[in-house]
Chain A
């Protein structure tokens, strides 16, 4: 009996472990965000009543303090917040007087689109650069490596402004701010994709070179495999493995990059929502955005794990 259950139990145990890990991450994210937002100077009740400039009366402040529980000790507020989060209640925005859940979800689509497109483009650019620079001689290899280092070092804000100057102001071919159409996506996606492509390209090129020098590639060549066959059947598969594992992390960095990019290109999305909420000390929105991003990040990590297992059959063995 026990033997029959074992093959079923093992994946189940893995899923449970993952789920436990995810819950832990969400708890940690919620806690850190809760206390970090406390460190922003200013009175939360003021924030509810329209910020420091609103000159709210003492009674109004007191009633807000009582209503929102701001007069309670921080630790009580913390557990109350956790309790609400556990039931899926993200609360109400202080500044917009809207429910945070629907608000955040309505902004999620735009940011996700941006991040997914940027990730896909970064992969394409990195693959092209790595493949070209490893097969076109020594100079190509130097150029490729230099391009990767420069690209990986570019800050988003500088790249965004430079792209606007070149494509919108000089050439006038692309809109400097997002107008909702597909054209408006080009510059934001490029801004996010180029540094990531440099980073992924460095990793891919290194593992591609290592794979090309390995004995199994020599064996394949000795069987009469062509250069293209060696690359597509053997080397690129090995080269993509570390880049796949890092894509989960890369996705997280794309979403944080979206804060800058959405602000510069005036695109609606989670990034801008988050920035506004932090400026206005809108705690529920900040926590809501951070939680959604954490969930997306966890899902992306699970996805990269699944893709890794697909590409690397060794991971499916034990």
Chain B
């Protein structure tokens, strides 16, 4: 019996320095050919758990367990050389973004051959032949061409395949994949998941670490939900997702936006049975099956007319980043722009904000010229157009406190502690669900969700009617993402905001939008009511994107 598991963990505890343990008594096992997913929010201890299984938790980590067995051998208290003999041979590791997880200075062929060099007596030509086999096995076309390339020359999906090839070079019985698809576009994510599934199909045990339930539900046989250093729930994927027993699991299931109607609350953590409790519908026309092309009696507040913009490539030729994009945004509605990285979404956002000038076409705001107006004219209108960015941290001056950031946005400069200023700041924070206690803090001292809320508060300071949101939730955990999406929804309802919501995640876009524009290679290939695009996509590319959206497969 004991020989049949690839990995057995009993009561694993990991702590750093003198602090309380971050992993507090975790037990699980994985059989050959099985995929177990550990799912949890950032800081739940899942990555630390994964690294402890390779003896790589760090030099100041205290790791203890009742049992820790890799293919039948105890690895508790192994010396460093003994660990080195096992890593790569008995267990492989795939990390998140292969751009930084493969040495950017070495050709990928060398990186992949490393395990062979370290653990086998193969000669250089035998190693080279095996590398080509591996690249072929992970589905990289033209292996001979690829081995000489640096990771920076490959696309995100190709890099991730190369990284997986490096991890499975010696066919380790256990593969650990820590957020292997998080940095990838949905369609590429689907391909990588299929590849991992094929690897488990061949008998490799796979430990999948992820923050995203929907992603793992595609390939995991069993799911373990981690919260605060403990596995709060473990079971067959269908069971855990279908009838979640623990509150944390329910919160994470409810937070998945795909397939939830517009207006459904995602972050109803405290309700006992959260899935699909629609909040009072904001307007009758937002029901999933009856969104008209343009809601009646609504004026268009933002209009893009045939926008084009190109950039110069390093070799001097020009690349069209945005190619004749047109749409109209009625007051109080949301336009979702979805597409993969490099499709021109962010360039479109900058054109809409008039941070870039279009080469052709025009942007009009409140029916007035915007992109063609002078910056002096625009400046008077700018408070009406707010912006929220993906990297909230990077969009703040790190030395400024929240109070300074917001009072600056209110047009009061950085002056502090005038009573009426504090009152206005408190009101502003209240609107985004933050307490006044964050006022003296600096951006680095806030959590990811708090930062994004401050970013939204800053955007609201000018009392905008239009908000341009560029990937506002992409760097957040699913449950935090759910709270921010709900906040945007509330604000829209209360203030009648018009939103342009840009994301690579069709699930998120479909949940928040009235209209959806699908972008590919700078062109808007499909534009229509969200429900229609979601239910019956007209363009094959939209259909492809849609098929790749992670949703709970139960």
A215, A229, A233: which contacts B95 (Cβ < 8 A)?
A215
Q: Is the CB of B104 within 8 A of A224?
A: no
Q: Does A14 contact B (CB under 8 A)?
A: no
Chain B residues near A216 (CB, 8 Å)?
Answer: 100-104
User: Which residue of chain B has the shortest Cβ distance to A311 in the bound complex?
Assistant: B105
- CA–CA, A19 to B86, complex, Å? 54
CB distance from B463 to the nearest CB of A (A): 43
Question: In the complex, what's the smallest C-beta–C-beta distance from A220 to chain B, in angstroms?
Answer: 7
Whether B119 and A224, one on each chain, are in contact in the complex, defined by CB atoms closer than 8 angstroms, is yes
Chain B residues near A234 (CB-CB < 8 A): 103, 105-106
Which one, B103, B152, B169, contacts A220 given CB within 8 A? B103
A162 beta carbon closer than 8 Å to chain B: no
Q: Is B115 an interface residue (CB 8 A)?
A: yes
Rounded to whole angstroms, the CA-CA distance of A220 and B93 in the bound complex is: 9
Q: Across the interface, which residues of B come within 8 angstroms of A222, CB to CB? A: 54, 56, 87-88, 91-93, 167
Q: A237 contacts which of B100, B105, B114 (Cβ < 8 Å)?
A: B105
User: A219 and B105: CB pair below 8 A?
Assistant: no
Q: Are B56 and A218 in contact (CB under 8 A)?
A: yes
A224:B88 contact, CB within 8 angstroms: yes
- Per the CB 8 Å criterion, the residue count for chain B at the interface is 39
Q: Is the CB of A238 within 8 A of B100?
A: no
Q: Mark A207-247, 1 if CB is under 8 A from B, else 0.
A: 00000001110111111111101000110011000000000
Counting CB contacts under 8 A, is B205 at the interface? Answer: no
The answer to whether B114 touches A220 (Cβ under 8 A) is: yes
Q: A216-B104, A317-B153 are in contact. Are A226 and B54 (CB under 8 A)?
A: no
Distance of A229 Cα from B81 Cα, bound (Å): 12
Nearest chain B CB to A106's CB is how many angstroms away? 43
Chain B 165-200 near chain A by CB (<8 Å), digits 1 or 0 = 011010000000000000000000000000000000
A306 and B286 alpha carbons, distance in the complex (Å): 62
Within 8 A of B (CB), among A187-224: 214-216, 218-224
- For A223, the chain B residues whose CB sits under 8 A away are 87-88, 92, 114-115, 118, 166-167, 169
Which single member of B84, B86, B93 contacts A219 (CB below 8 Å)? B93
Closest to A214 in B: B100
B95 CB contacts on chain A under 8 angstroms: 215, 218-219
Asked whether, in the complex, the Cβ of A314 is within 8 Å of the Cβ of B87, the reply is: no
Say yes or no: is A318 at the interface (Cβ < 8 Å to chain B).
yes
Among A222, A223, A311, A313, residue most surrounded by chain B Cβ atoms (within 10 Å) = A223
Cβ contacts under 8 Å, B80 to chain A: 227
**Are B118 and A225 neighbours in the complex by a CB distance under 8 Å?**
yes
| Complex: A223 Cα to B152 Cα, angstroms | 21
Contact partners of B167 in chain A: CB under 8 A: 222-223
Number of interface residues of A (CB under 8 A): 24
Contact present for B97 and A215 (CB under 8 Å): yes
Least Cβ distance of B144 to chain A in Å?
18
Q: CB distance A312 to B100 under 8 Å?
A: no
Min CB–CB distance B74 → chain A (angstroms): 18
Closest to A237 in B: B105
Closest to B86 in A: A224
Main SS class of interface, A: helix
A220 CA to B114 CA, complexed, in Å? 8
Is A221 within 8 A of B87, CB to CB?
yes
In the assembled complex, the CB of A229 is this many whole angstroms from the nearest CB of chain B, namely: 8
Q: How many angstroms between the C-alpha atoms of A234 and B104 in the bound complex?
A: 9
Q: In the complex the two chains form, what is the Cα distance from A198 to B103 in whole Å?
A: 28
C-alpha gap A215/B87 in the complex (Å): 16
Judge whether B105 and A238 touch: CB under 8 Å: yes
Report the bound CA distance from A225 to B91 in whole Å. 13
Cβ-defined contact, A219 with B163, below 8 A: yes
Cβ–Cβ < 8 Å partners of B91 in chain A: 222
Say whether A317 contacts B87, CB under 8 Å: no
Residues 299 to 318 of chain A near chain B (Cβ within 8 Å) = 311-314, 317-318
Q: Please, which residues of chain A bring their CB within 8 A of the CB of B56?
A: 218, 221-222
| Neighbouring A residues of B92 by C-beta, 8 Å | 222-223
Contact B84 A218 (CB under 8 A): no
CA distance A226 to B101 in the complex (A): 17
Whether B96 sits at the interface, judged by CB under 8 Å, is yes
Q: Is there a chain A Cβ closer than 8 Å to B309's Cβ? A: no
Q: Is B202 an interface residue (CB 8 A)?
A: no
Cα–Cα, bound, A220→B51 (Å)? 13
Query: Of residues 85 to 125 in B, which have CB atoms within 8 Å of A's CB atoms?
Result: 85-89, 91-93, 95-97, 100-107, 111, 114-115, 118-119
Give the residues in chain A near B93, CB-CB below 8 Å: 218-219, 222
CA of A214 to CA of B111 in the docked complex: distance in angstroms? 15
Residue of A nearest to B93 (CB): A222
For A229, the chain B residues whose CB sits under 8 A away are 118
Chain A residues with CB under 8 Å of B315's CB are 318
Nearest residue (CB) in A for B115 is: A223
Residues from chain A with Cβ under 8 Å of B102 in the complex:
216, 219
Q: Which residues of the other chain, B, contact A314 by a CB distance below 8 angstroms?
A: 104-105, 150, 152
B343 to chain A: closest CB distance in Å? Answer: 23
Cβ A224 vs Cβ B96 within 8 A: no
Check B2 for interface membership: any CB of A closer than 8 A.
no
Q: How far is the CA of A224 from the CA of B103 in the complex (A)?
A: 15
Q: Does A215 lie within 8 Å of B96, measured CB to CB?
A: yes
**Chain A residues with CB under 8 A of B51:** 218
**Interface flag for B394 (CB, 8 Å):** no
A-contact bits for B290-315, CB 8 A (1 contact / 0 none): 00000000000000000000000011
Task: Give Cα A136–Cα B438 distance, bound, in whole angstroms.
Answer: 40
What B residues does A317 contact at CB under 8 A? Answer: 150, 152-153
**Looking across the interface, which residue of chain A has its beta carbon closest to that of B96?**
A215
Asked whether, in the complex, the Cβ of B101 is within 8 Å of the Cβ of A225, the reply is: no
Q: A219-B163, A238-B105, A314-B150 are in contact. Are A225 and B114 (CB under 8 A)?
A: yes
Q: What separation, in Å, do the CA atoms of A229 and B87 have in the docked complex?
A: 14
Residues of A within 8 A of B119 (CB): 224
Interfacial chain A residues near B115, Cβ < 8 Å: 223-224
Q: In the bound complex, how far is the Cα of B91 from the Cα of A224, in angstroms? A: 10
Chain A residue nearest in CB terms to B95: A215
CB atoms of B105 and A313 under 8 A apart: yes
Q: How far is the CB of B340 from chain A (nearest CB, A)?
A: 23
Chain A min CB distance to B209 (Å): 13
Residues of A within 8 A of B54 (CB): 221-222
The answer for the CA separation of A132 and B324 in the assembled complex, in Å, is 58
Residues of chain B in range 395-419 having any CB-CB distance to chain A below 8 Å: none
List B contacts of A227 (CB < 8 A). 80
Tell me, in angstroms, the Cα distance from A169 to B91 when the chains sit together: 62
Residue numbers in B under 8 Å from A220 (CB-CB): 103, 114
CA distance A226 to B83 in the complex (A): 10
Q: What residues of A have a CB within 8 angstroms of the CB of B114 in the complex? A: 220, 223, 225
Residue of A nearest to B116 (CB): A223
Question: How distant is A194 from chain B, measured CB to nearest CB, in Å?
Answer: 30
| CB neighbours of B166 from chain A (8 A) | 219, 223
CA distance A249 to B93 in the complex (A): 41
**Which of A224, A237, A238, A313 sits near B87, CB closer than 8 Å?**
A224
In the bound assembly, the distance between CA atoms of A214 and B103 in angstroms comes to: 9
Q: How far is the CA of A216 from the CA of B56 in the complex (A)?
A: 13
Q: How far is the CB of A310 from chain B (nearest CB, A)?
A: 11
CB-CB contacts of B55-99 with A at 8 A, as 1s and 0s?
010000000000000000000000011001111110111011100
Could you give 21 example pairs across A and B, Cβ below 8 Å? A214-B100, A215-B95, A215-B100, A216-B100, A218-B51, A219-B101, A219-B102, A221-B87, A222-B56, A222-B87, A222-B93, A223-B114, A223-B115, A223-B167, A223-B169, A224-B118, A224-B119, A229-B118, A314-B152, A317-B150, A317-B152
Question: Apart from A219-B102, A223-B167, what 4 extra A-B contacts exist at CB < 8 Å?
Answer: A215-B97, A219-B111, A223-B87, A225-B84
Question: Closest 6 interchain pairs by CB?
Answer: A222-B93, A224-B88, A223-B88, A224-B87, A215-B101, A216-B103
